[in-house]
Structure 1
């Protein structure tokens, strides 16, 4: 990955039948996270760009996840169709880039979001997954209540492929991120601009992508 990531925001949808919201079966670093309940009271911050059509994967008939609003789950859980999924301002250092993945409630009612999103690199017009999905970093995972317009976020760490053995990493250019909001099976595509690469191969005992649980606010670290 180059020095910084220019990220265009947006949430196109992809319904993925029978896939878990973890985008596969990502590993968890250290122990499983604790769960507590909190409520987000901050006003949603402006970290979005204009909406774009999902070009990161095939979209199943009837799927919805463009953040245009609709009903949330009966239990009040935030659904992909009521979330605008974007990438906040990134930071870089020591071979890593850090990006908050932001989930903004675009619905007309409060909803709750908790635990880990599923995140992976994608490439090509068909949204082919690149490499392993993000590994979960063990941390406290609060349940965040989002009022309409409010945001929560999860911190994503991306390791520069250049630090790995190229024979194992097999770096390739990527188009963006496939993001499954926690406990959802419909994903959003977040495009990435600039010269962004990811490992298409498996690097033993390494974690090119790491994700933390969702927390209140748009600036997870």
Structure 2
């Protein structure tokens, strides 16, 4: 790419620098530097990219198991730990917030607003095969809201989207949610994934 200019400068000096030995020293330098030379063989840089990609790429839905951990009650709310386990055979990364919402039934319609993001800044979590990460969801006791404002409605569970995926996972959790979409009503809050 731009570094190709650097390759031309090394070829410009007198014939003393033209032997194959100077080309040999050029290849290791370009394979180690971030901007590789356009003259460097593609067969040298491509394997290094392919070898490292599996360890740094995002976890995909097919290699994640999503489950609901031990529910804990608190004053005015309930803590719902959503656990993500790497069931694949490679190391991958979870980064950000899962999407969480109440649903009327498995595969049913969403009830009220989806979870709003809260908590500290999101940081990437590297998951080796068999390792797990967790995102804490805070479910407000909606009975604390007025009936007219909340419009209470029975829900059967949660629809969960793992960070950076588009596949939904249903988790059974019968409770009561607010059918209203009034932005002043916060029935669910979700924190970023973190190491367990």
Common fold, TM-score beyond 0.5?
yes
Partner of 1:84 in structure 2?
A: 65
Partner of 1:143 in structure 2?
A: 124
Partner of 1:172 in structure 2?
A: 153
Secondary structure in structure 1 of the residue aligned to 2:66:
strand
Q: Which has the larger radius of gyration?
A: 2
Shift of 1:125: 5.1
Unaligned segments of structure 1, at least 5 residues: 1-71
1:152/1:74 CA distance change after superposition, 3 Å: closer
TM-score, normalised with respect to structure 1 = 0.61
TM-score, normalised with respect to structure 2 = 0.69
Is 2:157 aligned against 1:189? no
Partner of 1:130 in structure 2?
A: 111
Shift of 1:168: 1.7
- 2:180 corresponds to which of 193, 201, 204: 201
Equivalenced residue count is: 144
Please tell me the root mean square deviation across aligned C-alpha atoms, in Å: 1.8
Unaligned segments of structure 2, at least 5 residues: 1-52
| 8 A Cα contact 1:116 1:136, kept in partner | yes
Where is the strand percentage greater, Structure 1 or Structure 2? Answer: 1
Where is the helix percentage greater, Structure 1 or Structure 2? Answer: 2
Secondary structure in structure 1 of the residue aligned to 2:123:
strand
1:165/1:203 CA distance change after superposition, 3 Å: farther
Partner of 1:96 in structure 2?
A: 77
